Amino acid sequence: MRQKHTYACKGLLILLLLLFSTGCSAFKGYFEKSPINVPVARKKLIYEKLGDISITGKPWGITMDPDNSKAYVTVPDDDLVYILDLEKKEIAGKITVGNNPWETALDKKRKRLYVTNGEEGTVSVVDLENGKETIRIKLDQKLPTDIALSETRDEIYTANSGSGTMSIISSVDLQVKSSPVTGEYPYSIAVDDTNHRIYVSNTLGGNISVVDPEKGKAEKSFNTGKGITGLVTDGKGNRTYAASSETNQVIVIDNGTETIEGALKTLQHPFDVCVDEDNKYVYTVNREKGSISVLNPQNPGSLAEIETGKSPVRIAIDPVHRLIAVVNNGSDTISLIRYKVESD
């Protein structure tokens, strides 16, 4: 079994790497508007590298749990989710889930973790109080990759790369409500609870779909070019940021007007993106350079570049403890970086 789903894991990685290295379309990117009209807390941040946590087996997805100083990291080849103790900077446990777990979403209300299992087309539901999988939701869709949660709507959302759809699941009864079509190879997903919209990047289709979860269908789409592999919503700033590996930009969407404001230039092939909602800085992982970039929407170019490990693929932020975690798929590590305001 391990050999079988290792091939599935490698197949997805090869597809993504080919996509980002060949320049698949003539899309040239959005104008790099700066400053973009986003409120920025004018504070200088200082960064401190705290070291790495080793996880063997090519780690991939990560979700932070600030309330408990933990993080959850997927290892697709081993069908595992690792629990990290971020205070002790060590592995605290591991949870067996389905075949090829890619991404996770934390349900604080129900003390659950939801995990997409790419090869078998399911979502594992993990009870975090006992650290075990309790049920597996069958999607009847192919290759679910990313996953997100709306606690206000009590819904779970998955991007189903192999089916060209997303799934809407009730987090109350864990039943699939619908699976609307989004586009070609939906890969990343972000939730805008303020405006009741779901953003889905169709990585091979070259666009981002805007889905109305109430109607269960895509209402519109943005042309972005191929290679959007990371999406994040800034709830406080009413923006969505999309990492474009093809144009080497972070595309900025105004959630209120559902329009693209412009883009921020970053280093080559940004693979993921996250945002500090309090200080309004944006971070991208630079897979080829083994680093992260620090971006300010009100200033052009990178403010800073911080080295991580080899082939970083995912980034997450804990605003409570001011901690950034980076998954280094090529060096089997999680890099931890502390940030603080200069005046602290």
**pLDDT value, residue 304:** 85
Q: What would the pLDDT profile of 303-326 be if each residue is shown by its tens digit?
A: 789 999 999 999 999 999 999 999
Q: How far apart are CA 143 and CA 329, in angstroms?
A: 20
- Report phi then psi at 20, rounded to 5: -80, -20
**pLDDT value, residue 4:** 38
**pLDDT value, residue 3:** 37
Strand 333-341 to 270-275 pairing? unpaired
**pLDDT value, residue 246:** 85
Q: How far apart are CA 174 and CA 12, in angstroms?
A: 27
| Mean pLDDT score, 158-183 | 97
- pLDDT mean across residues, the chain: 88
Q: Is the predicted pLDDT of residue 22 greater than 50, yes or no?
A: no
Contact 127, 136 (CB under 8 A): no
Contact 145, 103 (CB under 8 A): yes
Domain harbouring 42, CATH code: 2.130.10.10
Percent of the chain beyond pLDDT 90?
76
Q: Beta partners for 198? A: 191, 211
Q: How many CB atoms are closer than 10 A to CB 25?
A: 13
The residues near 102 (Cβ < 8 Å, ≥ 6 apart) are 60, 61, 74, 76, 116, 117, 118, 144, 145, 146
What secondary structure letter does DSSP report for 344?
-
Q: What would the pLDDT profile of 225-277 be if each residue is shown by its tens digit?
A: 889 999 999 999 999 999 998 888 999 999 999 999 889 988 878 999 999 99
Tell me which residue range forms the domain holding 158: 2-341
The count of structural domains within the chain is: 1
Q: How far apart are CA 272 and CA 228, in angstroms?
A: 9
Q: How far apart are CA 341 and CA 199, in angstroms?
A: 31
**pLDDT value, residue 167:** 98
Q: Residue ranges of the alpha helices (H) in 186-273?
A: none
Q: Beta partners for 94? A: 82
Name the nearest CA neighbour of 289 among 337, 330, 249. Answer: 330
Q: Is the predicted pLDDT of residue 2 greater than 50, yes or no?
A: no
Q: What would the pLDDT profile of 279-305 be if each residue is shown by its tens digit?
A: 889 999 999 999 999 998 777 667 789
Q: Is the predicted pLDDT of residue 7 greater than 50, yes or no?
A: no
Give residue 15's pLDDT band: very low, low, confident or very high (50, 70, 90). low
Q: Is the predicted pLDDT of residue 175 greater than 70, yes or no?
A: yes
Q: Beta partners for 90? A: 85
**pLDDT value, residue 86:** 97
The residues near 5 (Cβ < 8 Å, ≥ 6 apart) are 76, 77, 79, 99, 100, 119
Q: Which residue has the tokens 């930009």?
A: 249
Answer with the residue of higher pLDDT: 15 or 96: 96
Taking CA 128 as the corner, what is the angle to CA 271 and CA 62, rounded to the nearest 5 degrees?
10
Give residue 159's pLDDT band: very low, low, confident or very high (50, 70, 90). very high
The count of residues in the chain is 344
Q: Is the predicted pLDDT of residue 14 greater than 90, yes or no?
A: no
